[in-house]
C-alpha cells in the first residue's frame, strides 16, 4: 500500500483532488512550483495526511487552501518559501489543531 507520495507538475486543484482520492496516504512531499490558479472557492473533503513537506513556490492563497484541507496534520515542514505569510499561519492554526511539529526554515515572511 502506498504511504508516501512525491508529486510534480500539478496545479493546486489537481493536487487536492489527488490527495482526496488517496484516503490511506499519510505522508506527502511536494517539491514543485504549483500553477498560480484560483483555489479559494475550490472545496474537497478533508485530506487525511499526517505529514506534509513543502519545498515549493506556493502562493500564500495556495498554502491557505491546502491548510484548510488537512485537519489531521501532525507534522509540517515548509522550507525556503518566500510566500508563506502570517495569514497562512493563522489558517494553519485554526484548521490543524493536532500539530505536534512545525518547521518553517528559511521562510522569511514568518516572524
| Closest alpha carbon to 78 in 39, 10, 31 | 31
| Closest alpha carbon to 74 in 51, 56, 90 | 51
pTM confidence score: 0.71
The model's pLDDT over 61-106, given as tens digits with 9 standing for 90+, comes to 888 888 888 888 999 999 888 888 999 999 999 999 999 999 998 8
Give percent of the chain with pLDDT exceeding 90: 20
Helix axes 12-21, 60-68, angle to 10 degrees: 20
Report phi then psi at 33, rounded to 5.
Answer: -105, 110
Q: How far apart (Å, rounded) are the C-alpha atoms in residues 107 and 111? A: 9
Amino acid at each position: 500500500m502506498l504511504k508516501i507520495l512525491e508529486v510534480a507538475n500539478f496545479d493546486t486543484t489537481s493536487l487536492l483532488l489527488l490527495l482526496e482520492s488517496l484516503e490511506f496516504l499519510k505522508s506527502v512531499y511536494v517539491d514543485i512550483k504549483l500553477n498560480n490558479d484560483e483555489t479559494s472557492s475550490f472545496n474537497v473533503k478533508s485530506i487525511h495526511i499526517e505529514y506534509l513537506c513543502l519545498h515549493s513556490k506556493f502562493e500564500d492563497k495556495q498554502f491557505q487552501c491546502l491548510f484548510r484541507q488537512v485537519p489531521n496534520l501532525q507534522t509540517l515542514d515548509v522550507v525556503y518559501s518566500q510566500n508563506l505569510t502570517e495569514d497562512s499561519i493563522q489558517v494553519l492554526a485554526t484548521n490543524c489543531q493536532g500539530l505536534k511539529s512545525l518547521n518553517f526554515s528559511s521562510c522569511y515572511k514568518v516572524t
